[in-house]
Amino acid sequence: MSSHASPAASGHDAHGGHGADHVPHVLDLKWYFGVWIMLMVFTVITVAVSYVDFGVLNLVIAVVVATMKATMVSLIFMHLAFDHKFNGIAFLSSLVFLAIFIGFAMTDMNSRGIAEGIEGEHPVKLDEPFGPLRSERDRELRARLKAEKAAGHAEGAAAHH
Amino acid sequence: MSSHAPAHDSPAGNAQDRSPQFHVGHHWDSADAQFDAGKTGVWLFLVTEILFFGGLFCAFFVFRSWYLEAFVSAHHHLDKVMGGVNTIVLICSSLSMALAVRAAQTNNKNQTVLLSVVTIGFALMFLVIKYFEYAHKFHDGLLPGRYFTYAKAVFPDERIFFGIYFMMTGIHGLHVLIGIGLIGWIAWRAQKGHFSSRYYAPVENVGLYWHLVDLIWIYLFPLLYLVG
Amino acid sequence: MAESLPISAPHGATPSGTNYLNAEKGILSWLTTVDHKRIGVMYLVSTLIAFGAGGFFALLVRLELIAVGQQIMTNKQYNQAFTLHGAIMVFLFIIPSIPGALANFVLPIMVGAKDVAFPRLNLMSLYIYWLGAIICLGAIVGGGIDTGWTFYTPYSSTVDGGVVAMTMGVFVLGFSSILTGLNFIVTLHKLRAPGQDWFRLPLFLWATYATSIIQVLATPVLAITMLLLAAERLFGLGIFDPALGGDPVLFQHFFWFYSHPAVYIMILPGMGIISDVLSVHARRKIFGYRAIAYSSVALALLSFLVWGHHMFVAGQSELASTIFSFLTFFVAIPSGVKVFNWLSTMWGGSISYTTPMLFTLSFLFLFTIGGLTGVFLGMLSVDVHLHDTYFVIAHFHYVMMGGTVMAFLAGLHHWYPKMFGRMYNETLGRISCLLVFIGFNATFFIQFIMGSRGMPRRYYNYLDQYQSMHAFSTVGSWILGLGFLVMLYNLLTSLTKGAVAPANPWGGVSLEWHTPSPPPTENFHDTPTVNNGPYDYDTLRSAK
């Protein structure tokens, strides 16, 4: 960037900047060192915990601790706690969409083959994939009712004798 | 609009002499608006980086659900100590970077330069340790995909773990390298007296990028090295 | 004011004054400009060249298919031809065109700003676009690619050819898209003039905002997909190779997580143009402003939930397919809201049958067909039969060409006077629109029928029973091509021979019509203050 003469321009002022100068938001040093210490502590914790097998919880604990570290880094080191909300919303939304991506992909990857099991128990009849025709069902039903009725008369007749 | 504390400035008369090369773009109403816009722009870029790396985390979780035993077995080959040290190194680099931004905000040119250089030092340390880790893997044949020649693998699918390991740490390492370049640029400009409480946006914005690099490692390390 | 459009410049007017076109001279001043208007014009030229190249390959493909058996190329060459047609059209034309060419030009003016938030980044977007295009060209010339624009594994991870180069080209192009979206989001948040509330913005800007959200969130996943494919080829990474424990369907998850939202990058800006052009050329305030604004953003967000509907028969689990099919029906709702609002806008309006309006009417008809057939395809049971047939091809051409391209052409003709200070020839404009409309329907409507009768897509050869339909479609493509040639002639000759354009030939109210045609480099001498909505026309239609 070349050196710039004093702001007073001759004639038409092509430069903006008539508004407020930017005033920096300066955080006290204790915040920085505080977060630094906490990050180290959490790192030690997460490494120590990894020597014990908690089974399924291994992953959960690791992610929870990592998230706590990440929160401190973003809020303090990256100044999100003191910044316009929009930046934080943008950041969080990226995590939401990432979760959608991972969630749906996992759903697919972990549910492969389930349908084969269901189809194995109820195999499709290729001749009639949607089941017997309604007209055929009705015919069968009527035939069955007729047979039952005939059987009932026969019993009744037998009972009378 | 973004400031909440008074700037630690010397008397008003000196303010305009700081960062003499700085000027507000002709399409901006104020330096404040320009600063805010630049920062939001960088945050949007960080959003893209999160989605970018996120794809790799997706691959990790997907294959972990398929090959849990292979992943747990494979991750034991990663050196927790080296990884842990690298984590500490990156955390320290984050601190020095954040302090460098603060130094620029408070007109402390020498500290800005020093802390930037310290950050680069930590970053180089990270890459050196990474180099030794990789060398060890190459030596053992713990390589991705078709180059996987490790004879004592318990499960054949351990090669998938290493494919993902190398992609994630490799691309992360590339981002560390790019960060070194960016921070070096900041240190050089700081040395030339470009930055002050009136203008420190590049320092702030490079700092945001660097913190993201740290954030990714904060997740990468426990998932790959500690859990598997 | 029942004036017929266009409103002419005063008689005998000649183009005069300094504007962004003549402010600085010389090719270097153009190549190093940070003026969003010049960058927009360069994007326009670049994307139109890409459209020509993609269209050329399309004509080749259709020519090959005019009869059974080999006509002008071998089967391998045919695979390359349709791959290039798709890749060029998607990555080099349709995604960058409206945002890069039209939005770049009008967005800052519409918000009352002197430029976008990051002018140099804007120029870099353009450079990156050119770099990506050159890399893709290298891939085509060097190894050639025949994988289809979708690069599915395992074919793309094992076949010889320029796949790595092409993936790198696409990777680079993605950055151009991301940076443009980023620039627009910040511009819309931070550079609106006093009084320019969010709900006083023209709907084209709401559409651009929604598009930019998708560009920023989705494109990075395309980037990692391309890197993973390259790594798969170069290092045998194995995550897409079943022999090494990987899953080729995972590639499709990665690919479509971007590419489905990408189709909304394609259509949303077009819908935004339609809202603006329809309102101005029917001289009626848009019906349901907030509904359209909210539905644009809703569409952007919902678009991330449905990508699996491209993978129903790919090996995706039935459970996931069912979920994706269910969610796909929701994504149709915001589009439906818009179509009804547009129709309601026209009702009681004072419609002028200008070229932009004719393209808009074409859009309404063709997009509705395209959108509805998308719902058919989203139905899991139906898609099992229609997937990978010409039905799908017809569907996406109806939405991408009948939708986006028609809207792009409407916007191009609508803002042409503003951009170049000249009026195009209205008669030629209408003729070209008619030829394009007839040619388009002749080419593609029959493909719905072909597809539902079983003609598969991407096939070099086919059974005799489809031959007459293919021939019909090919002749349609010639009419379509002719329409575009007429349009090209019109737009090029009007640059120098067209009537001088007034500042506001259409009687629009949004801010771009308050600057001269063409605008000066700084857009506005003083920052304007906005006191009314973008569609508040005074003394509307005459009593009928």
Tens digit of pLDDT for each residue in C455-472? 999 999 999 999 999 999
Would you call C118 and B41 a contact, using CB atoms and an 8 Å cutoff? yes
pLDDT at A6 over 80: no
Instruction: Flag whether A36 is in a domain.
Output: yes
Residues of C in contact with A105 (CB under 8 A): 250, 253, 257
Check whether A28 has a pLDDT greater than 50: yes
Classify residue A26 as left (phi > 0), alpha (psi -120 to 50) or beta: beta
Tens-place pLDDT, residues C447-456: 999 999 999 9
Q: Which amino acid makes up residue A152?
A: G
B150 and B161 in contact (C-beta within 8 Å)? no
E strands of B73-211, at which residues? none
Residue B2 pLDDT:
39
Does residue A53 lie in a domain region?
yes
C223 interaction partners in chain B (CB closer than 8 Å): 52
Q: Is residue A69 part of a domain?
A: yes
> How many residues are there in chain A?
161
pLDDT tens profile C276-295: 999 999 999 999 999 999 99
Mean pLDDT of chain B: 89
- Best C258, C318, C321, C327 residue to mutate vs chain A (most A CBs within 10 Å): C318
- Residue A65 belongs to a domain: yes
Q: Is A54 on the interface with B (CB under 8 A)?
A: no
Q: How far apart are CA B207 and CA B183, in angstroms?
A: 8
Mention every residue, 6+ apart, whose C-beta is less than 8 A from residue C67. C467, C470, C471
Spell out the residues 6+ positions from residue C279 whose beta carbon is closer than 8 angstroms to its own: C285, C286, C345, C535
| Token pair for A20 | 């407020």
Q: Which residue of A has its CA nearest to B53?
A: A98
Nearest to C423 by CA among C3, C9, C144, C128: C9
Task: Quote the distance between the C-alpha of residue C78 and its chain's center.
Answer: 25
Least confident of B206-210, C403-407, C505-509: C505-509
| pLDDT(B9) > 50 | no
- Per-residue burial over C266-299, b = 16 or more CB atoms within 10 Å of its CB, e = otherwise: bbbbbbbbbbbbbbbbbbbbbbbbebbbebbbbb
Q: Report yes or no on A121 lying in a domain.
A: no
Rounded to whole angstroms, the Cα distance separating C104 from C339 reads 26
Whether the CB-CB separation of C540 and C350 falls below 8 Å is answered with yes
Q: How far is C319 from chain A (nearest CA, A)?
A: 7
Q: Kindly tell me if the per-residue pLDDT of B17 is higher than 70.
A: no
Q: Does A83 touch chain B (CB under 8 A)?
A: yes
pLDDT top residue among C17 and C514: C514
B15 confidence band (pLDDT: 50, 70, 90):
low
The 10s digit of each residue's pLDDT in B23-78 is: 888 889 899 999 999 999 999 999 999 999 999 999 999 999 999 999 999 999 89
Evaluate if residue B159 carries a pLDDT over 70: yes
Return the closest-CA partner of residue C182 out of B45, A51, B3, B156: B45
A126/B contact by beta carbon, under 8 A: no
Q: Report angle CA C184, C186, C192 to the nearest 5 degrees.
A: 90
CATH at C421: 1.20.210.10
Coil/strand/helix, residue C456:
strand
Does the CB of C446 have a partner CB in chain B at under 8 Å? Answer: no
What integer pLDDT is reported at residue C14 of this predicted model?
58
* Neighboring chains of C (3 or more beta-carbon pairs < 8 A): A, B
Q: What is the mean pLDDT of chain C?
A: 93
Q: How many domains does chain C have?
A: 1
Q: Kindly determine whether residue B88 and residue A43, on different chains, have CB atoms separated by under 8 Å.
A: yes
Q: If DSSP codes are grouped into helix, strand and coil, which group holds residue C422? A: strand
Helix (H) / strand (E) containing B211: helix B201-220
Centroid of chain to Cα B54: 15
Give the pLDDT confidence of A130-159 residue by residue, as tens digits. Answer: 767 777 778 888 889 889 888 888 777 776
pLDDT at C417 over 70: yes
CA quadruple C366, C368, C371, C373: dihedral positive or negative? negative
Q: Alpha-carbon distance C362 to C15, whole Å?
A: 33
Task: Return left, alpha or beta for C148; rule: phi > 0 is left, psi -120 to 50 is alpha, else beta.
Answer: left
For CA atoms A84, A89, A94, A98, give the dihedral sign: positive
Residue A129 lies in a domain: no
> A116 in a domain, yes or no?
no
Give tens-digit pLDDT for B190-207: 999 999 999 999 999 999
- Judged by a CB distance cut-off of 8 A, whether residue C382 touches chain A is no
Q: What is the pLDDT of residues A56-105, one digit of tens each?
A: 888 999 999 999 999 999 999 999 999 999 999 999 999 999 999 999 99
* CA–CA distances in Å: residue A138 to residues A129, A143, A144, A148, C150: 18, 8, 10, 15, 50
Instruction: Give the residue numbers spanning the domain of A26.
Output: 1-8+20-87
Cβ of residue C316 closer than 8 Å to a chain A Cβ: yes
pLDDT reading at B10 higher than 50: no
List residues of B whose CB lies inside 8 A of any C CB: 25-29, 33, 36-38, 40-41, 44-45, 47-56, 58-59, 62-63, 66-67, 144-147, 156-157, 159-160, 163-164, 166-167, 171
pLDDT (0 to 100) of residue B21 = 84
- Range with the poorest average pLDDT among A132-141, C63-72, C394-403, C535-544: C535-544
The reply to whether A114 falls in a domain is no
Tracing tokens 């990555």 back to the chain, one arrives at C91
User: Chains with ≥3 Cβ pairs under 8 A against A?
Assistant: B, C
Name the one residue in this structure whose structure tokens are 């008397």.
Answer: B11
Largest CA distance in chain B: 72
Question: pLDDT (tens digit, 9 = 90+) per residue, C107-138?
Answer: 999 999 999 999 999 999 999 999 999 999 89
Alpha carbon of C236: minimum distance to chain B alpha carbons (Å): 5
Instruction: Give the model's confidence band at C531: pLDDT under 50 very low, under 70 low, under 90 confident, else very high.
Output: confident
pLDDT given for residue C61 in this prediction: 96
Domain of C102?
38-543
* C168 within domain boundaries: yes
- Burial of B53 (C-beta count, 10 Å sphere; 0-12/13-18/19+): buried
- CA distance to partner chain C, nearest, from residue B166 (Å): 9
Quick check: C522 and C529 in contact, CB under 8 A? no
Query: Does C227 have pLDDT greater than 50?
Result: yes
The pLDDT score that the predictor gives to residue C525 is: 78
Q: What mean pLDDT do residues A107-129 have?
A: 84
Which pLDDT belongs to residue C4? Answer: 67
Alpha-carbon gap, residue C447 to C402, rounded angstroms: 14
pLDDT at res. C275: 97
The token pair that represents C231 in the structure block: 């790594």
pLDDT-based confidence at residue B144 (cuts at 50, 70, 90) = confident
Is the confidence metric ipTM above 0.90 for this complex? yes
What does the alpha-carbon distance between residue B31 and residue A21 come to, in Å, rounded to a whole number?
5
Classify residue A160 by burial, with Cβ atoms within 10 Å: 0-12, 13-18, 19+: exposed
CA distances from C315 to A86, A115, C136, C264 (A): 40, 12, 30, 25
- Which residue on chain C is closest to A12 by alpha carbon? C525
Indicate the number of domains in chain A: 1
Contact C317 A108 (CB under 8 A): yes
DSSP A119-136: HHHS---SSSTT-S-HHH
pLDDT of residue A95: 96
pLDDT at A12: 36
What would the DSSP string read from start to end of C219-279? HHHHHHHHHHHHHHHHH---TT-GGGT--HHHHHHHHHHHHHHHHHHHHHHHHHHHHHHHH
Under the banding of pLDDT at 50, 70 and 90, the label for residue C257 is very high
**The predicted structure's pLDDT at residue A55:** 85
pLDDT tens string C296-351: 999 999 999 999 999 999 999 999 999 999 999 999 999 999 999 999 999 989 99
Nearest 5 degrees, angle CA C339-CA C341-CA C342?
A: 65
Q: How far apart are CA C257 and CA C222, in angstroms?
A: 8
Interface test with A, best of C253, C324, C521 (most A CBs within 10 A): C253
| pLDDT tens digit sequence for C55-96 | 999 999 999 999 999 999 999 999 999 999 999 999 999 999
The answer to whether residue B178 scores a pLDDT higher than 90 is yes
Task: Give the residue-averaged pLDDT of B136-152.
Answer: 83
Report chain B residues whose CB lies below 8 A from the CB of A27. 102
Q: Quick one: pLDDT at residue C542? A: 36
Angle formed by the axes of helices B158-191 and C203-235, nearest 10°: 120
Domains with residue ranges and CATH for chain B? 28-226 (1.20.120.80)
Structure confidence at residue A139 (pLDDT): 82
pTM for the predicted model, two decimal places: 0.91
User: Quick one: DSSP state of residue C518?
Assistant: S
B3: pLDDT strictly greater than 50? no
Q: Do C320 and A108 touch (CB under 8 A)?
A: yes
